[in-house]
Amino acid sequence: MPYKVIEDRPADVRERIFLPEVIRGVGIIARQFLRNFFLQRDPNPDHLLRRTPGVTIQYPEEKQPYPPGYRGLHRLVPREDGRPRCVACYMCATICPAQCIYIEAGEVEGDPIEKFPSRFVIDELRCVVCGFCVEACPKDAIRMDTGEHAPPTYTRAAQVLDEKVLLRGAPVSYLGDPWLKRPAPGIPAAKLEEMRSRARPYPQLAGDEYSQTPGFSVRQLAAEAKARGGA
């Protein structure tokens, strides 16, 4: 529905020179400057929780903590034996709308079934931080729970992260992992039994968005928001 024009008339001289609006804008800036200068707190709850009286963050000495739903820098989740959980299925690369993930699959020696990523590269400059790769991964092999943003670099090539940089974090094992159900080449029997003992059941909310990454579950974030609203 179009807006109703109350009075349709040409602008007069006072309105064409924009002098009243300029004075009004200068007044708004001056009022905000004086408010910040005398250290009055901003009514924003995020600012009220901070200990410093002003609203300006003295970066980098002072940093604002990221919210629970922040999608941080990517990482590849390792297994108990140090290898990536990725099985090179290409699902993350296929679903990525920015086409920023590149994978080369390699075969595990002595195993005609299992594959691994001989190359796993993410171009962080092209990434749109949508989190689709985390949702599509069937093995919980990629997460965005680092709480970090892409570091500043002087070259574009430095923003292209490979599997050596991405593979980090605590190892994860599930009872349904195929390398735990059958003999795994290259893994000693004692190490394999240790990995099986540490394996945990697959989460019941596996179909929920970001259920594998702490802090990224839609239901969890909704419950936290509801609790804050009720408080």
pLDDT in tens, 60-101: 777 777 777 788 899 999 988 888 999 999 999 999 999 999
Which pLDDT band holds residue 117 (cuts at 50, 70, 90)?
A: very high
Look at residues 220, 69, 73 and name the one whose alpha carbon lies nearest to residue 152: 73
Number of domains in the chain: 2
3-state secondary structure 165-215: HHECCCCCCECCCHHHHCCCCCCCHHHHHHHHHHCECCCCCCCCCCCCCCC
Same domain, 87 and 189: yes
223 or 3, which is more confident?
223
103 plus 210 within the same structural domain:
yes
Among 21-30, 191-200, 202-211, 215-224, whose mean pLDDT is lowest?
202-211
Q: Is residue 123 part of a domain?
A: yes
**Closest among 212, 128, 130, 117 to 163, alpha carbons compared:** 117
Question: Strands 115-123 and 160-161: what pairing?
Answer: antiparallel
Q: What value does the mean pLDDT take over residues 201-213?
A: 53
CA gap 187, 115 in Å, rounded: 15
Average pLDDT, the chain: 79
231 part of a folded domain:
no
**Nearest one of 45, 43, 41 to 229, comparing CA atoms:** 45
* 96 and 129 fall within a common domain: yes
In a domain? residue 201: yes
Distance between CA 156 and CA 124 in Å, rounded? 9
| Residue predicted with more confidence, 8 or 197 | 197
Asked whether the predicted pLDDT for residue 5 surpasses 70, the reply is no
Q: Which residue in this structure is represented by tokens 């099985």? A: 87
Question: Is there a domain that residue 211 lies in?
Answer: yes
Residues 36 and 81 occupy one common structural domain: no
Query: Does 145 lie in the same domain as 48?
Result: no
Residues 84, 157 within the same domain:
yes
Our CA dihedral for 82, 85, 88, 90, rounded to 10 degrees, sits at -140
Q: Which domain range does residue 54 map to?
A: 11-65
- 59 has pLDDT over 50: yes
Query: Is the Cα torsion angle 149, 152, 156, 160 positive or negative in sign?
Result: negative
Q: Which residues pair with 117 in a beta bridge?
A: 105
The reply to whether 70 falls in a domain is no
Residue 120 pairs in a beta bridge with 103
Q: Residue 105's pLDDT is what?
A: 92
Q: How confident is the model at residue 210 (pLDDT cuts 50, 70, 90)?
A: very low
pLDDT of 18 over the 50 cut: yes
Q: Are residues 133 and 189 in the same domain?
A: yes
Task: List, in sequence order, the alpha helices (H) in the chain.
Answer: 13-16, 19-37, 45-48, 91-95, 132-136, 163-166, 178-181, 189-198, 218-230
**Same domain, yes or no: 99 and 212:** yes
Q: Are residues 59 and 136 in the same domain?
A: no
Cα–Cα distance, 15 to 172 (Å, whole number): 66
46 and 103 both lie in a single domain = no
Mean pLDDT of 143-158: 87
